Structure 1
Amino acid sequence: MSAPTPVADLSGRCALVVGASRGIGASAATALAARGARVAVSARTAASLHGVADQVRATGAEAHVVAADVTDPDSAQRVLDEVTEGLGPVDVLVYATGQSAVGRFEDLSDDDWRRLYEVNVLGAVRLARAVLPHMRDQGWGRVINVASTAAKYGSKLQSPYNATKHALLGLTRCLALETAGTGITVNAVCPGFVDTEMVQQAVPLWATQLGVPESAVIPGLLSRVPLGRLLQPDEVAQLIGYLASPAAGGMTGQGLTLDGGLILV
């Protein structure tokens, strides 16, 4: 692989990717490593991360694995301490973990709402709170949240997911204002339908709710996408890599849509 250009180069930087065991998070870890960053990968279990760490090392970058549950209020500082000891202070935070819930609003419980707010919002809050002091001290930092097109418009049968992604984008904008002028940028990526395990796991739930065969769910989703295909995780990861790079130093508070034209229809 050719060396990154200076505006894309993350050599000397340390990135922490939360939710890195699969999908967009795993692809983001290798994309940041390819730009020269040292990369720490985090998820609930260490066993799920070793393959991703190996992919990071295959680029020639250093990798560090740290297991943590983002719903544990004490985990953020522990993760930060472990990464700092293993790779150095965190310069780039990518919050790529998330959960969904599919069902009619009346059928979704308080527990469903609490679970999604803990994972999709409060985890991001705690990690950002942990990393921002170092970023402020050094006058440089990147916080990148993986939101969704669901952060920008309403949708049926996923009210907790939709509401939490709106909250994550709102958090992104508020932090961007509070850190403006410090050398820190805070942005979000808002993907549409991506070929991930989370999407595949939701297919039976969507089929039940919509009363259609499972085989009809993905074609039904793609009928709304002008490009007519699922995005690949690496496509989202490349956008994350851009936002992490010096080239994106003038961009903050944005929710960048990558959706194959979904929200145009």
Structure 2
Amino acid sequence: MDLSLGGRRALVTGSSSGIGEGIARMLAAEGARVVVHGRNRDRAEGVAAAIGAAGVAIGDLSSDAGAVAVHDAAREALGGAIDILVNNAGGSSTGNTSKAPIDIPVADWVSNYHANMLPAVRLCRLAVPDMVAAGWGRVINVSSAVAVQPNNLGADYSGAKAALNNFTVSLAGSLKGVGVTANIVSPGIIMVDGLLRFGRRKFGDATLSIEQVTQRLAAEKVFDLPPAGRLGTPEDLAAVVCLLASPLSGFVTGANYRVDGGQVRSLN
């Protein structure tokens, strides 16, 4: 299917590795002009060269000034306003995967909010007015399955992602009839380098492949495989992002697309 993304201008935050890299790669393959964002210039430029990106935007999104610098660098590389904004930068900033909610320090709750919610808010404040002026735009915020089905542990991270979901739905409602949509994609457990490093450390074997790590973690009940029978890949998520970024998705807004293999056991 032709997603009609040729020439569209896209910024994908946190795209120098992992899920973001997969999204940037597929958007570029579909013909979009993509800017790769990260904090490590060498890594971001390596991805940009590999996918034929329009350029890179280097910077930390934890401050207003940093977000402005990233936004302006992306606009310069693209030669115009951003049409497609994928807010992927984030992740657990505290690693509280073994602490109950009441054992998590308040500072850690704040840290995760800053890492997972505010970067998206900052960039939307900068990029969405241009989309409205142009009468077309796409905002896609990468959340998590735990935003709607939280674990007993890591509540500071899942709470921040839940806030991101609420922001996205509110944003969609505020953009009524202007040609700009805002949606959420929520991955389950995705096979990325972080999972591979965790598994290799846990099992004390630096030679394990991602498939071997996944099998051993599932066998030891570190997690259960979802009904799909496997973990997700960045490409699984990227395919849904590309569809939501397309002009074909103009009647889809304020929605949460779960890309989790059935991990979340609810209708929506």
The answer to whether the superposition gives a TM-score over 0.5 is yes
State the secondary structure of the residue aligned to 2:64.
coil
Paired residue total: 250
State the secondary structure of the residue aligned to 2:140.
strand
Matched, 1:28 2:23: yes
Contact 1:148–1:165 at 8 Å: present in 2 too? yes
1:140 to 108, 122, 136: 136
Deviations 1:5-59 (A, max 9, x none): 2xx02122110000001111001101111111111111112122122102221xx
Instruction: Note the 1:228-247 alignment, pairs <5 A.
Output: 228-247=229-248
Distance in 2 between residues matched to 1:169 and 1:118, nearest whole Å: 15
Greater alpha carbon shift after TM alignment, 20-29 vs 151-160:
151-160
Matched, 1:83 2:83: no
- Across the aligned residues of Structure 1 and Structure 2, the Cα RMSD in angstroms comes to 2.2
Please, what TM-score do these two structures have when normalized by structure 1?
A: 0.87
Please, what TM-score do these two structures have when normalized by structure 2?
A: 0.86
- Give the ranges of 4+ consecutive aligned residues of structure 1 lying more than 3 Å apart after TM superposition: 198-207, 214-219
Contact 2:56–2:73 at 8 Å: present in 1 too? no
Per the alignment, do residues 218 and 159 of structure 1 end up closer, same or farther by CA in structure 2, a change over 3 Å counting? same
State the secondary structure of the residue aligned to 1:251.
coil
- Indicate the residue corresponding to 1:184 in structure 2: 180
Instruction: Note the 1:169-180 alignment, pairs <5 A.
Output: 169-180=165-176
- Indicate the residue corresponding to 1:121 in structure 2: 117
State the secondary structure of the residue aligned to 1:94.
strand
Q: Give the drift of 1:206.
A: 9.4
Q: Give the drift of 1:199.
A: 3.4
- Indicate the residue corresponding to 1:51 in structure 2: 46
State the secondary structure of the residue aligned to 1:65.
strand
- Indicate the residue corresponding to 2:86 in structure 1: 94
Percent of pairs with identical residues? 37
- Indicate the residue corresponding to 1:225 in structure 2: 226
List runs of 5+ in structure 1 lacking aligned partners.
208-213
- Indicate the residue corresponding to 1:73 in structure 2: 64
Greater alpha carbon shift after TM alignment, 81-90 vs 100-109:
100-109
Instruction: Note the 1:130-169 alignment, pairs <5 A.
Output: 130-169=126-165
List runs of 5+ in structure 2 lacking aligned partners.
204-213
Greater alpha carbon shift after TM alignment, 160-169 vs 47-56:
47-56
Per the alignment, do residues 215 and 111 of structure 1 end up closer, same or farther by CA in structure 2, a change over 3 Å counting? farther
Per the alignment, do residues 108 and 10 of structure 1 end up closer, same or farther by CA in structure 2, a change over 3 Å counting? same
Distance in 2 between residues matched to 1:199 and 1:189, nearest whole Å: 20
